[in-house]
Structure 1
Amino acid sequence: MSARSSDGGPRWSGRSRGGDTGGRLVALDGVRILAALAVAFYHYVVLESAWGEPTDRVFPVARSFAVYGWLGVEIFFLVSGFVICMSAWGRTVGDFAVSRVSRLFPAYWVGIAFTTLVLFAWPEVRAREALTDVVVNLSMLQGGVGVPHVDDAYWTLFAELKFYVLFSAVVIRGVTYRNCVLFCGLWTVAAVVAPTADNGVLSFFAITNCSPYFIAGIAFYLMRRFRPSAVTWAIVGVQFVLAQHYVHTRMLSSLGRGLTERTPAWPAHLIITLGFLVMAAIALGHFDGVRWRWLPHAGAVTYPFYLIHMMAGLTVIHHFRDRLAPVPLALGVTAVMLTLAWIIHRLFERPLSRLLREGLRRGLQDIRTNTPVRPALSRLPAQPSAPEAERVPSLR
Structure 2
Amino acid sequence: MLYSLQALRAFAAWVVVCHHFMQIFFDFHATGPIGRLFSHRGAVGVDIFFVISGMVIYLSTRDKAVAPGQFLLNRVLRIVPAYWFYTLLMALLLLAASRWMPHQVFEWQHLLLSLLFIPAENPGGYGLYPTLNVGWTLNFEMFFYLLFGLAFLVRQRHHLVLVSAALLLVSEVLGRLGVLSRFYNNDIIYEFLLGIGLGVLYRRGMIREGLWLPLAVLAAAGFALYHLDASMRLLHWGLPSALVVFAFVALEPWFRGNRVLKALGDCSYSVYLIHVLVLYGGWFASRRLGLDPYLAFAFCVPLIGLMSWLSYHWLERGLYRRLQAWFAARPGQRQALALSRVKY
Q: Same fold (TM over 0.5)?
A: yes
Q: Residue 120 and residue 364 in structure 1: after superposition, are their counterparts in 2 closer, same or farther (change >3 A)?
A: farther
Q: Residue 208 and residue 142 in structure 1: after superposition, are their counterparts in 2 closer, same or farther (change >3 A)?
A: closer
Q: Distance in 1 between matches of 2:191 and 2:307?
A: 29
Tell whether the 8 Å contact from 1:317 to 1:333 is kept in structure 2 after alignment: no
One-letter code aligned to 1:314: Y
Q: Distance in 2 between matches of 1:276 and 1:93?
A: 27
Tell whether the 8 Å contact from 2:18 to 2:42 is kept in structure 1 after alignment: yes
Q: Residue 286 and residue 311 in structure 1: after superposition, are their counterparts in 2 closer, same or farther (change >3 A)?
A: closer
| Equivalent in the alignment of 1:134 | 111
| Equivalent in the alignment of 1:96 | 71
| Equivalent in the alignment of 2:142 | 161
Question: Which residue, 215, 218, 226 being the options, matches 2:193?
Answer: 215
Question: Which residue, 243, 249, 252 being the options, matches 1:287?
Answer: 252
| Equivalent in the alignment of 2:101 | 125
| 1:226 and 2:214 aligned | no
| Equivalent in the alignment of 2:48 | 75
One-letter code aligned to 1:106: P
Q: Distance in 2 between matches of 1:195 and 1:132?
A: 24
Q: Residue 298 and residue 129 in structure 1: after superposition, are their counterparts in 2 closer, same or farther (change >3 A)?
A: same
Task: Give me the CA root mean square deviation.
Answer: 3.6
One-letter code aligned to 1:331: A
Question: Which residue, 252, 271, 274 being the options, matches 1:308?
Answer: 274
| Equivalent in the alignment of 1:198 | 177
Q: Distance in 1 between matches of 2:28 and 2:72?
A: 44
Question: Which residue, 42, 64, 69 being the options, matches 2:36?
Answer: 64
| 1:111 and 2:86 aligned | yes
| Equivalent in the alignment of 2:307 | 340
Map 1:373-384 onto structure 2 (within 5 A): none
Q: Residue 97 and residue 64 in structure 1: after superposition, are their counterparts in 2 closer, same or farther (change >3 A)?
A: same
Q: Distance in 1 between matches of 2:238 and 2:175?
A: 25
Q: Residue 188 and residue 160 in structure 1: after superposition, are their counterparts in 2 closer, same or farther (change >3 A)?
A: closer
Tell whether the 8 Å contact from 1:50 to 1:315 is kept in structure 2 after alignment: no
| Equivalent in the alignment of 1:391 | none
Q: Residue 316 and residue 246 in structure 1: after superposition, are their counterparts in 2 closer, same or farther (change >3 A)?
A: closer
Report the 3-state secondary structure (helix = DSSP H, G, I; strand = E; otherwise coil) of the residue aligned with 1:297.
helix
Tell whether the 8 Å contact from 2:278 to 2:300 is kept in structure 1 after alignment: no
Q: Distance in 2 between matches of 1:313 and 1:40?
A: 9
| Equivalent in the alignment of 2:14 | 37
Q: Residue 362 and residue 94 in structure 1: after superposition, are their counterparts in 2 closer, same or farther (change >3 A)?
A: farther
1:144 Cα deviation from its structure 2 partner:
5.7
One-letter code aligned to 1:308: I
Q: Residue 103 and residue 196 in structure 1: after superposition, are their counterparts in 2 closer, same or farther (change >3 A)?
A: closer
Moved more, 90-99 or 353-362: 353-362
Q: Residue 144 and residue 179 in structure 1: after superposition, are their counterparts in 2 closer, same or farther (change >3 A)?
A: farther
One-letter code aligned to 1:164: Y
Q: Residue 247 and residue 195 in structure 1: after superposition, are their counterparts in 2 closer, same or farther (change >3 A)?
A: farther
Deviations 1:249-292 (A, max 9, x none): 559xxxxxxxxxxxxxxxx94x6554222322355x44144221
Q: Distance in 2 between matches of 1:325 and 1:43?
A: 17
Tell whether the 8 Å contact from 2:12 to 2:49 is kept in structure 1 after alignment: yes
Report the 3-state secondary structure (helix = DSSP H, G, I; strand = E; otherwise coil) of the residue aligned with 1:210.
helix
Map 1:161-180 onto structure 2 (within 5 A): 161-174=142-155, 176=156, 178-180=157-159
| 1:351 and 2:318 aligned | yes
Q: Residue 288 and residue 323 in structure 1: after superposition, are their counterparts in 2 closer, same or farther (change >3 A)?
A: same
Tell whether the 8 Å contact from 1:114 to 1:308 is kept in structure 2 after alignment: no
Map 1:246-325 onto structure 2 (within 5 A): 247-248=230-231, 250=233, 269=236, 272=238, 274-282=240-248, 285-290=250-255, 291-321=257-287, 322-325=289-292
Identity in percent: 22
Report the 3-state secondary structure (helix = DSSP H, G, I; strand = E; otherwise coil) of the residue aligned with 1:143.
coil
TM-score norm. by structure 1 comes to 0.67
TM-score norm. by structure 2 comes to 0.76
1:145 Cα deviation from its structure 2 partner:
8.8
Q: Distance in 1 between matches of 2:253 and 2:181?
A: 39
Report the 3-state secondary structure (helix = DSSP H, G, I; strand = E; otherwise coil) of the residue aligned with 2:267.
helix
Aligned length: 307
**Larger fraction in helix:** 2
1:72 Cα deviation from its structure 2 partner:
0.8
One-letter code aligned to 2:259: R
Q: Structure 2: give runs of 5+ residues left out of the alignment.
A: 124-128, 208-220, 337-344
